[in-house]
Structure 1
Amino acid sequence: MPEPIRTFRHFRDVPDSAWRWGNFSPAEIACRGTGQLKLHPEALDKLQALRDRLGKPLIVRSAYRSPEHNRAVGGAKASKHMDGTAFDIAMANHDPAAFEATARAVGFLGFGYYPRSGFMHIDLGPARTWGERFPVRAVPFALEVPAARETLAESRTMKGAGAAGVATVGAAGVEVAQGVLAEAQGAVLPLIPYLDSLRWIFIALALAGIAVAIWARVDDWRRGMQ
């Protein structure tokens, strides 16, 4: 036995115990002009099923309309909105073709296309369509993939800092070697000038590594600002 259809003078009068559609609120489904609400369980069950299958929000542009509000907005005389069985859903975050296919799968039968206004009308029937269909999108919505975290081994910052560290250690090692050789026998004294040059090479490498690390940080910051 189908659940009874209930009408409320204002959406704030709907008790919490009577509302089970978690992704929607009475205010979203109520008449935009009067705040009245006709609670049609079958229609709302299908709307929630559509939301669940699509896995993304449904922006409800219009749902229930009181007769006076329907006249005020120029709605059809027998508009399904007055029965509480019709919904106008924005297509801003949906591919219209996929949306329609899913809506049909959950049991909606009536479809009105309003590409210039950016929404699609769906209702419980009878089965019919009207309006100009939405143009086919060349590229459907892509899944949002979170940016992969840079691993430590691949980090440009760590590579630059590592090079700077190795070069710094090398320069320090050269100084130690110079001191040791200075105290050694005279046969190795001619090597000391070459070690001094090697120390400056290590210092230059250390500075280059620091520069690479700084550049990588600045480049990452710029990419994050885009």
Structure 2
Amino acid sequence: MTFYQHWRNVPANAWRWPNFSPAEIACRGTGKILVNADALDRLQELRVMLGKPLIVNSAYRSPEHNRTVGGARASKHLEGTAFDISMANHDPVAFIAAARKAGFKGIGTYPRSNFVHIDTGPARSWGDPFPARVSSFAPDQPPAREHLAESRTLKASGAAGVGTIGAAGVEVTQQALAEAQGAILPLMPYLDSLRWLFVALALGGIAVTIYARLDDWQRGRR
């Protein structure tokens, strides 16, 4: 195990886990990081096995941050051997089966917060079961921008560009964050500004849509 006062201090040539970044594994409260190679090897193996991104809610925790969040005194997060993984893009049953296969023996389920805790400690499990789902994942829906692009009203008004950007901005951002979760951590201070920008674009799109529909109505197109 190797400890660094901040994840930015981790040498690039010392990091061998391609689907994760030091920022994702570091303590959320202090930026400190304890690199446990064995645990990270298992996490990388799990990522390859599942074939889709793992959204890491929490990995290493410094003692001070662990106290702040009310973590257990002997939490495996303190050892860098535990990871809390979001189930936003995973079926919990399939995820837990794969995690056990990758060598994670400690399994904690938190359906209300929609994540699963995994660690390399002794075999044990806790938490409530996830509710049954109609399917493993939510049914696919065409992106909002595609619905808008096909709108007769927007086509007629020539406002498809503005409406599409406004409604799809947040959707596109969420997809990008899920695929490049580690890379955006340095951008955290700017996310509030980006959020308000997308809100403004969405409101502009709504206004244009309302205007276009009123115009359609006046012209007897509805």
1:221 aligns with 2:147: no
Counterpart residue type for residue 58 of structure 2: S
In the TM superposition, residue 143 of structure 1 has moved relative to its aligned partner by 9.2
In the TM superposition, residue 125 of structure 1 has moved relative to its aligned partner by 1.6
Partner of 1:155: none
Distance 1:46 1:143, change over 3 A: farther
Q: Is the 8 A contact 1:50 1:106 kept in 2?
A: yes
2:117 partner SS: strand
Identity %: 65
Partner of 2:85: 89
Distance 1:70 1:142, change over 3 A: closer
Partner of 1:72: 68
Partner of 2:135: 139
Alignment partners' CA distance in 2, 1:126 and 1:53:
22
Alignment partners' CA distance in 1, 2:102 and 2:138:
23
In the TM superposition, residue 110 of structure 1 has moved relative to its aligned partner by 0.2
Partner of 1:167: none
Distance 1:52 1:9, change over 3 A: same
In the TM superposition, residue 137 of structure 1 has moved relative to its aligned partner by 1.6
Alignment partners' CA distance in 1, 2:37 and 2:132:
33
Number of aligned residue pairs: give it.
150
Partner of 1:212: none
Matches within 5 A, 1:49-68: 49-68=45-64
Matches within 5 A, 1:126-205: 126-141=122-137
Structure 2 gaps, min length 5? 143-148, 153-163, 165-222
1:23 partner SS: coil
Alignment partners' CA distance in 1, 2:97 and 2:133:
15
Partner of 2:26: 30
In the TM superposition, residue 141 of structure 1 has moved relative to its aligned partner by 2.7
Quick one: which of 36, 43, 57 aligns to 1:47?
43
In the TM superposition, residue 64 of structure 1 has moved relative to its aligned partner by 0.1
1:104 aligns with 2:100: yes
2:109 partner SS: strand
In the TM superposition, residue 67 of structure 1 has moved relative to its aligned partner by 0.6
Alignment partners' CA distance in 2, 1:32 and 1:142:
29
In the TM superposition, residue 133 of structure 1 has moved relative to its aligned partner by 1.4
Alignment partners' CA distance in 1, 2:102 and 2:80:
17
TM-score w.r.t. the length of structure 1 is 0.62
Partner of 2:9: 13
In the TM superposition, residue 221 of structure 1 has moved relative to its aligned partner by 3.3
Counterpart residue type for residue 96 of structure 2: E
Q: Is the 8 A contact 1:109 1:122 kept in 2?
A: yes
In the TM superposition, residue 36 of structure 1 has moved relative to its aligned partner by 0.5
Structure 1 gaps, min length 5? 147-219
Partner of 2:174: none
Q: Is the 8 A contact 1:97 1:136 kept in 2?
A: no
1:112 partner SS: strand
Relative contact order, higher structure (CA 8 A, sep 6+): 2
